[in-house]
Amino acid sequence: MLCCKQPLEEINAENQTTLEGNSLQKAQYVFDRYNVSCFADDTGLEVEALHGAPGVYSARYAGEQHNAADNMRLLLENLKGVGNRKARFRTVITLITPSGQKEFEGILNGTIIDQQRGTEGFGYDPIFLPDGSTRTLAEMSLEEKNKLSHRARAVEKLVAHVKHKNLSNA
Q: Which residues are designated catalytic?
A: 42
As to burial, measured by CB atoms within 10 angstroms (0-12 exposed, 13-18 middle, 19+ buried), residue 80 is: exposed
3-state helix, strand and coil shares in percent for the chain, rounded to the nearest 5: 40, 25, 35
Residue type at 74 in one-letter notation: L
What is the Cβ-side half-sphere exposure of residue 127, based on CA atoms within 13 angstroms? 23
Distance of CA 104 to the CA centre of its chain: 12
